[in-house]
Structures are given as structure tokens and as C-alpha cells.
Chain A
Amino acid sequence: MFIQQLELTHFRNYEKAEVAFSKGINVFLGENAQGKTNLMEAIYVLAMARSHRTANDKELIQWNEEFARISGRVQKKHSSFPLDITISRKGKKAKFNHLEQKKLSAYIGNLNVILFAPEDLSLVKGAPNVRRKFIDMELGQISPVYLHHLVEYQHILKQRNQYLKQLAMRKATDLTFLEVLTEQLAISGAAVLKERFSFAKQLETWAQPIHQEISKQREELMIDYACSIVLTDPEDKEAIYTDLLNVYQDNQKRELDQGTTIAGPHRDDLKFFVNEKNVQTYGSQGQQRTTALSIKLAEISLMHELTGEYPVLLLDDVLSELDDNRQTHLLTAIQNKVQTFLTTTSLDGVKKNLLDAPKVFNIDQGNIETESE
């Protein structure tokens, strides 16, 4: 799939902008603080109905304006449709093909994006919540059903934690109601876990050969979904449900003391191993970079396999961070297949011969100018 055109109104430092993109590589060239990342963010928001930089939608509205609007047209193999996001102080509206989608889970997934920014190195190095968010974002784009279960899980978790707190403070006493909440949590928890396990497996399958190639056959990558509970069979939803219930049973006394749900998908992690050593703790910076890159490239193939379309790739300031060998891998992998947006302050450090006829846009204080070849 690819984005044909994009129109911005009062988005960050863009007063008004309209651009037509190339199916191949698009380069946003400009000094610092001119609006390159803002443009990437706009594309991300168009796909995910939320920003990757902030949880507060209102920050996206241009200062002193009432609303921000992003619209674009997406072309897929067999269809073409407009997407439209409007953010006002009151909230946001997401339209697919001119129709407002009340449930974001029905909107997300129409445009698939993969974003790679320097902070993605923290995917390997950072705290577990970074990796949980990574799974949720990627899986959520591919599977609306996953997104539904996840939202439901988080919601029920909030209810259950609140009720545990009330029980702990003796403001509530009804254990039958706790049991009902526990079962509800286990139902959506089981659905979430099953999909996460299979996602981690598939990701590993795709990332392994890529990592091997980038490391010149020296390294073998393994990905493990580190579940906070022991599962008898991660492929069987019923079995996961039973396992979850047993764990909640065992934890009940402690949960009633602490007033919170101790174990479950909200406490899980993703672990990466290179040659059987945990990259997070023992990997060199180079290995961590290779791992992050292999995972991003694997995602492209995985999405293609699961949805039949290649996602759109957003590379924010990463190309210059990668050495020649890694750049070559990245650029060869996407060539002629994946619509790519990349930002840079200069084309000097970039392997030009691999940038196949890029369309260059000069970004200057919220203005976009198409460079004539």
C-alpha cells in the first residue's frame, strides 16, 4: 500500500500543506526544528489515530488554533480510499472512506505503518513496557480483534484493580463479584496472550535470517515471549484461560493485601537473545542495533504475509545512525516494494546509489517544497 497524497491543516507547525508522494522513496530534507518529525508524526497519526510522541492529542493542534486536521488518500492493490483525522479540544474524529468510525479499532489497520526512529533502539535496551507497547501497536494494526481484546483487557484490569483496592480497604466485601471480574479478566487475557505468543513466534521466524545476514552469519537471533505466568499450552486459548484462573487463585491472598492484580499480560515482556545471550544485558551496542533493525525489517515481511500488503515505512533520523553495512541491508530490503519516508538534515551520510530515484521535499519552517530533479 502507499499514500498518494497528504493534506495538513493547523497540524503542529504546519498552517496548511498539501503534498503528493512518490510510491518509492520520499526524503524530507531540512535543518533541525523545521517540521520533519512533525510530518512523520502526521502520517503516523493518520494510520494509528494517535501520536507516537505524545499521549495528549491536543499538543498536535497548532498553537492558538482550534483544531488540527490530517487527510490522506491511500492506494492498495485493489482499492483506494481517503482517511481523515480531525482533532479538536473536544476530542478526535476518525473517518474511513468519508464515514466516521466510532470505534478506533474499526479505523486502525486501514493504513499500516512501521516507524523506525533512534529511540527504537530502546526497544532492545528499554523497560518492558516499551516492548509491550511495540507488540500492541504492531499486532493492533494487523488484527482489529486483538485490539478489541486488548482494550477490553485493560479496561477490566482497571475495574478489577479498583475493586481489589476497595476490598483491601474493607470498603467492599463481595468475593463473588471479584470472582466474576477475575473470570472476565482471564477470558480477554487468554485471547491477548494467545495472539502475542504467535506474533513473537512469527516475528522470530522472519527476523532470524535477516539478523544472520546482517551479522554475516556470525549471530543467531532468538525471540522469546516472556510470560509472567507459566502456560501449559500457549496455542490453546482454553488452556491459557485455565492457567490464568489458577494463577489468580494462587495469588488471591496477596492480591487482596496489595489491592492490585499481580500477574498477567500487563506484566509480560519480550526477550531477545543473540547466540543464546540476552542482548538487553549482554549485547554490544552493535548487536543491539542489528537486533532492532532485524525486528523492524521482519515486521515489514510479517505484515505483508498477514495482510497481503506491504506497510508504509517511516525512518526518522535513523539512516545516518546506521553504518554502511546496515544501511545497505535496510535499503535493499525495501527497494521497489515499500513506500518509504525518511528524514535527514543532509544527504551526505546516505548511500545515494541505493536511494532509487527519491522524491525530495525541502522542509523549511512548516513549509514543504518539492525539489525539482
Chain B
Amino acid sequence: MQYPEPISKLMDSYMKLPGIGAKTAARLAFFTIDMDEEDVTDFAKSLISAKRDLHYCSICGNITESDPCDICRDKDRDRSTILVVEDVKDVMALERVREYHGLYHVLHGILSPIEGTGPEDINIPSLLKRLQSEEVQEVILATNASAEGEATATYLSRLIRPAGIKVTRLAHGLSVGSDIEYADEITLLKAVEGRREI
């Protein structure tokens, strides 16, 4: 038997979300039918407003309701450093720490030819433009420790260094509170490579 059309349409929408296949989509769709009308309306409204009321900041690429974003407009932040991350979630994570007071730049991706992402496909040109016009002295590259993260960081440093700007990379290694004896060999290897003088 085929699904009634409203169900198939809802399933089709759910399946556009990452990690959701036909089975899960069917479960979610039938669950939605049983929800309170009010909850469903709220759900639909949130979806639309998230899309309609949020934009990417034209300066840093962070997600925001107003352009430029709060961080870019904040006069108290240190305008001499820009911290470069892969996506918006990384900005949120770093902001929760409340230790970093400079500006951000969101790449919206990472260099990976097998995924079809080359230098032209991520938010690099606007970063280079910022480096010309602003009084930036340091760029901190905070892409992940994966092979792609490293390649992206190295590539960016090739582009930025000639401009005479200091480029640094976030340290990788042992996580806080972890015992050396329980760390796997690769983490240890990276930690040893990234050691510093004290």
C-alpha cells in the first residue's frame, strides 16, 4: 500500500535532513500526525523563521539576525586578531569558553577535492579582503586536526604570510584531564610533535 500523499510529502521533507533515511522519515512523519496541533504550528514557524530571520554576516560569515553580526559590531573586541574556523558551530563552541576576545572568520567548509570542495568553494576571498582593510596583526587557524583541516590551514597560511601577518595554528594533542597512559599512540604522537618550552 502506498502512503497517503501528505505523509509522503512530509517524509520527503524529513529525508532532506542529514542522516535521515526512508524508515526514520516514515517514523517521524507518523509521529508528527499524532502531535498537538499547537506544537506542529510552532515547529513549522520555527523552521521558517530560522531560515528567514537568520543570515550570514557579510564580514565574517557567522550566522546572525542582523548584518554585520554582534561580534563584528562589538567595539570592545580585539580587532587585531581573526580566528578562522570551518563552520558556525565552532564559533559557538569558542564563544562558550569566553577566553577569546578577537574576531572570527567562518569558512563554511574545508578543502577536500573528493567532496568537490576547492579553494574557490569556501569563504576565502572575503577573508583576504578583510586582511587588506582591517588592522589585523594575527590570524589564528583553528580548522580541525584532520588531513583536510591541516591542508586548509597550510593553504591559508601560504596566502596570508606574504602580507606580513602573523599566522598561528591551534594546538592539538592530549585533552585536558586525560591520562597519558590511556591516550592512543596517534594522539601521543601529535602531542609530542606539538610540545612547547616551559
Contacts and interface: CB of A to CB of B under 8 A. Distances in A.
B19 to A, nearest CB: 12
B114 to A, nearest CB: 5
Contact of B184 (A103, A152, A176, A179): A103
> Taking each of A105, A106, A159, which has the highest tally of chain B beta carbons within 10 Å of its own beta carbon?
A159
B43 interface: no
A164 to B, nearest CB: 9
Interface stretch (B66-74, B128-136, B153-161): B153-161
A261 to B, nearest CB: 13
A152 B120 CA distance: 24
Given A155-B147, A159-B114, A159-B147, A177 B186 contact: no
Interface stretch (A41-49, A180-188, A277-285): A180-188
A177 B124 CA distance: 13
B42 interface: no
Interface in B153-198: 154-155, 158-159, 184-186, 189
Contact of B185 (A144, A155, A166): A144
B109 interface: no
A239 interface: no
B45 to A, nearest CB: 34
B161 to A, nearest CB: 12
A158 B155 contact: no
Contacts of A105: 184-186
B124 to A, nearest CB: 10
B158 A176 contact: yes
Interface string A74-111: 00000000000000000000000000000101100000
Contacts of B112: 159
A166 B186 contact: no
B10 interface: no
A163 B184 contact: no
A145 interface: yes
A166 B158 contact: no
- Chain B CB within 10 Å, residue with most, of A152, A156, A180, A181: A180
Contacts of A162: 113-114
B185 A174 contact: no
Contact of A148 (B118, B148, B186): B186
A54 to B, nearest CB: 24
A172 interface: yes
> How extensive is the interface on chain B, given as a class?
10 to 19
Contacts of B185: 105-106, 144-145, 148
Given A106-B185, A144-B186, A172-B118, A180 B147 contact: no
B114 A180 contact: no
Chain A binding surface, main DSSP class: helix
Contact of B154 (A106, A152, A184): A184
Interface residues of A, number: 24
B111 interface: yes
B158 A180 contact: yes
A176 B118 contact: no
Interface in A128-153: 144-145, 148, 152
A144 B184 contact: yes
Interface in B131-152: 147-148, 150-151
B119 interface: yes
Interface in B97-120: 111-114, 118-120
Interface in A291-325: none
Given A177-B118, A184-B151, 17 more contacts: A105-B185, A148-B189, A158-B114, A159-B113, A159-B148, A160-B113, A166-B113, A172-B113, A172-B120, A174-B118, A174-B119, A176-B155, A176-B159, A177-B119, A177-B155, A180-B151, A180-B155
Which 8 A-B pairs give the minimum distances between C-beta atoms?
A162-B113, A163-B113, A106-B184, A144-B185, A180-B155, A148-B186, A180-B154, A174-B119
24 contacts: A144-B185, A145-B185, A145-B186, A148-B186, A152-B147, A155-B147, A158-B114, A159-B112, A159-B114, A159-B147, A159-B151, A162-B113, A162-B114, A163-B113, A172-B120, A174-B118, A174-B119, A176-B119, A177-B118, A177-B119, A179-B158, A180-B154, A180-B155, A183-B154
